[in-house]
Amino acid sequence: MIQTSSKQVSNRSSLFTVLDIGTSKIVCFIARPLANGKAEVVGIGHQVSNGIRNGNIVDMAAVETSIRSTVESAEEMAGENVRDLSLCISGLVPESKLVSFDVAISSNQIGDTDLKRAIDPTWLHSQQNDDRLIIHALPINYSIDGNSGIKDPRGMHCGKLGVNMHVITTSIRAVKNITACVNRCHLDVDSQILGSYAAGLACLVEDEKELGVVCLDIGGGTTDIAVFYDGELVYTDAIPLGGTHVTNDIARGLSTTLSFAERMKTLYGSVIPSPSDDQEVIKVPLVGEEDDGENSISRSILVGIIRPRMEEIYELVRTKLDQSGFGGDEARRVVLTGGGSQLVGSQELAAEILNKKVRLGTPDFIKGLPESVSGPGFSASVGLIRYVINQKNNKLLEISSNTEDLEGFSGFIKKWFRDNV
């Protein structure tokens, strides 16, 4: 049962729960922190999601039922009841904004109180439109007396502390709809994290984040973009296309069912043609026909349906990166993750269109996960665990302050690289 009783198991306080609600699936992990700074997963639940289209809820009752079933599976495996959880915000289009502010240091030496004094959530929220919700406010770097590129200014002496901060917002109504579905299951949301940020935490190595990397999480309804540089998340965006659109293209193009189109994509799908494609024949059942109603096609036809959609996705990603200022040498590597990244030839096509080095990213933060939940399709879910662990270990600092806006994101990027690289 999802509802908890007053009696709690003695080690209950050490456990935490994460929930990833996506277009194609819902995932719940119950985990326990370990002394080495990682975590052990003791409860797992996942199933196909219902009532979600392109990251947006279209049937709250169906979503509620899916959440209940997923969480109850994790509870049964863990032998624990879930009352609150951390929620992964996936499939919603985020907006990146860079703000900068200065704080006078009265004691000349920077301490925790000086950083806290800069925090003014009221100001940040006052700068947002009524339909936008702040998901993250992440400090990128600091400056002291005009000298930039400072990672941790505490203990340093200066008269003026400057902070460059990345503020990420998304639709407040969409988040309220998701949260309402969770609350209807008698569950409380402790914290929220953007899906693309979580995916990056799960499958990027530290050197990649330092040197500059683009993490593309190709989900069912959306492709989420996260750019890391100098160890920090500096840009996020999303495009409303993903693996489900590829499945729909196959179903429409071949007049078959959605379930068989998904099966074809998984078993035979590719974005790179091969000489043997014309000789490989696939039998396709026709939608609405009797058992003997089927058609035979060559694999080359299937590739011809899949490739244009994947090309469109990568071309839209390239446009987003160019507009943000990260289309060039600032981020020379791309890491593909998410369920839609596993198509044969996807890495090669991404490298060709984006003109960057590309690899497939799988979550490596938690060892010993079952194979069924350890692939690229679960990167965001595993990254959410890492986010919670970092919060518990005070490795994440999210602040907001009384600031002045920079002239724009692209202008900030150009100035940042001119000053720091």
3-state SS track over 286-326: CCCCCCCCEEEEEHHHHHHHHHHHHHHHHHHHHHHHHHHCC
Q: Is residue 163 assigned to a domain?
A: yes
Distance of CA 151 to the CA centre of its chain: 24
Q: DSSP secondary-structure letter at 341?
A: G
Give me the pLDDT at residue 38, please.
Answer: 85
Give me the pLDDT at residue 9, please.
Answer: 37
- What is the distance between the alpha carbons of residues 338 and 343, in angstroms, rounded to a whole number? 11
Give me the pLDDT at residue 121, please.
Answer: 54
Give me the pLDDT at residue 77, please.
Answer: 94
List, in sequence order, every residue forming a beta bridge with 333; answer none if it has no partner.
Answer: 213, 357
Buried b (16+ CB within 10 A) or exposed e, 79-110: ebbbeebbbbbbbbbbbbbbbbbbbebeeeeb
Domain count of the chain?
1
Q: Which tens digit of pLDDT belongs to each residue from 248-273? A: 999 999 999 999 999 999 999 999 99
Q: Is residue 126 assigned to a domain?
A: yes
Give me the pLDDT at residue 123, please.
Answer: 55
- What is the distance between the alpha carbons of residues 91 and 221, in angstroms, rounded to a whole number? 7
User: CATH number, domain at 107?
Assistant: 3.30.1490
Q: For residue 112, give its domain range.
A: 95-171+398-420
Q: Phi and psi (nearest 5°) for 302?
A: -65, -45
Q: Is residue 148 assigned to a domain?
A: yes
Q: Is residue 105 assigned to a domain?
A: yes
Q: Is residue 190 assigned to a domain?
A: no
Give me the pLDDT at residue 369, please.
Answer: 82
Q: Is residue 123 assigned to a domain?
A: yes
Q: Which tens digit of pLDDT belongs to each residue from 118-160? A: 655 555 555 666 788 888 888 888 878 777 777 778 878 777 7
Give me the pLDDT at residue 403, please.
Answer: 30
Query: What residues in the chain have per-residue pLDDT under 50?
Result: 1-11, 396, 399-418, 420-421
Give me the pLDDT at residue 258, please.
Answer: 92
